[in-house]
Amino acid sequence: VGVLVAVGAVAWLRVFAPSIQVAYESASGSGWDDARGELNTTFRKAISSEVAFDEATVDLVARCVSDRAITFLNGTDCRYHFNEALTSMDDHLKSQEACLDKVGYVKKEEEFTLACFKEKLPDDWKVLRGVLAKAIAGELDLEGTTEAQRKQIAGCMAGKTVEVLQPSKCRPINREAVDASGVFNSLDTCLEDAELKQKWEGEVQTCMLPLMQEALKAAGIDPDNPTADAPADDAPAPDAPADDAPEPPVDPE
């Protein structure tokens, strides 16, 4: 029988502590290769819950982490399978968890995930468009707007950000990162380039135009010609009556 304690699941390159709860599944065969399906599912869910990558990219990274984890675990004394005639499942799980802790599995899992992100993620800002949209939506503070409007604006701003950064020298993935915090180059880091920042600001500002047009319409102003009904600043003032203008005639009594 093969059972697996609920070990730490890495999401966004953060290691979760081993859970008190345990999960197990029966399997046939030998070694940790029989845990591959469970590990793949665990890593896939952990990654996709934190990062808005496409499904193919998530699967690629999850399989990479699973392969490295299995290779490591097969080289340890930690057992996936156990003999029901010799020990109980509870005792096996306790022993397994203690062994995983002894060999430093959680730390290794973090290293594997970091390596797989650096190795498998495409150097393409388009992959992070969903991440950017989610982050921008969380930061938008536009009084009087609906959630749908903020989501639309965030999506537009994320798209404009990708358009500006894609051809730039600032790449999304730092292949030289030594820890989780340095894997992804932040937008702030890229916008330290003054010229790039100016271009980005000009592009994302256009995403506010629909909102501005709606505000003008609500005020009864034509957004295509907002000054149509307003007097021109240089319009001549009406003539004032001359001091010697004749008095209006008075009706006789």
**pLDDT at position 11 over 90:** no
Higher pLDDT, 218 or 70: 70
Confidence label for 238 from pLDDT (cuts 50, 70 and 90):
low
Can you give the pLDDT at residue 241?
56
| Range in 16-25, 44-53, 123-132 the model is least confident about | 16-25
**pLDDT at position 191 over 70:** yes
Residue range 100-118: mean pLDDT, rounded? 93
Residue range 143-166: mean pLDDT, rounded? 89
Q: How far apart are CA 162 and CA 92, in angstroms?
A: 50
The per-residue pLDDT of the chain, averaged, comes to 77
Q: What percent of the chain has pLDDT over 90?
A: 32
**pLDDT at position 178 over 80:** yes
Q: How far apart are CA 99 and CA 93, in angstroms?
A: 10
